[in-house]
Amino acid sequence: MDKELRIVGFLCNWCSYGGADTAGVGRFVQPTDLRIIRMPCSGRIDPLFVLKTLIGGADGVLVSGCHPRDCHYAEGNYYARRRLEVLKRFLPIIGIDPGRFEYTWVSASEGQRWQHVVTSFTNQIHALGPVQRIGRQSLAKACSLGTVLEPLA
């Protein structure tokens, strides 16, 4: 696989984080691009977390929580599902491929499913390549315009 990319995962404490742990304990081989942030519940995930991560330069964001009907707090993931679906559909307008963001459900016992989710999401992000950043390209553009100038001492 080519150069490692940066993928951030927001995982709920009760199911998906446990699922990732199960995958680790079971020694399932997984790509190492993903960095995990543990959240109390998928309902805690503000869509701004995802936007901040993507605008700040992460190449992909994965959100994972308990399966619907299995939320530790009974209904957090139902609210999350609506918010995250709206967010995923919003991304194209700002020039970010909606494939860079996925949300899914993995329970604490599903180590193998976790391995599958991480592997396929990482492949998906590698197919898309590094993310384009709103701030950086203009910096590059400004630098290219400034090539005729002497750099400041």
| Cβ-contact 100, 128 below 8 angstroms | yes
SS3 61: strand
Tokens of 82: 């609506």
Does 127 help bind another protein (rule: CB under 8 A)?
Answer: no
User: Quick one: which segment of 14-22, 28-36, 40-48, 143-151 binds another protein (CB under 8 A)?
Assistant: 40-48
Whole-angstrom distance, CA of residue 129 vs CA of residue 84: 22
Q: Is 151 in the site for another protein (CB under 8 A)?
A: no
Between the alpha carbon of residue 23 and those of residues 17, 51, 140, the distances in Å are 10, 28, 41
- The stretch near another protein (CB under 8 A) out of 8-16, 21-29, 32-40, 93-101 is 93-101
Of 24, 130, 137, 140, the residue at the interface with another protein (CB under 8 A) is 137
The residues, any chain, with a CB within 8 Å of residue 139's CB and separated by 6 or more, are none
- Closest CB to another protein among 14 and 103? 103
- What does the block give as tokens for 57? 């330069």
Residues of the shown chain interacting with another protein in the complex, contacts defined by CB under 8 A: 46-48, 51-52, 55-56, 68-69, 75, 78-79, 81-83, 85-87, 89-90, 92-97, 102, 104-105, 113, 116-117, 120-121, 132-135, 137-138
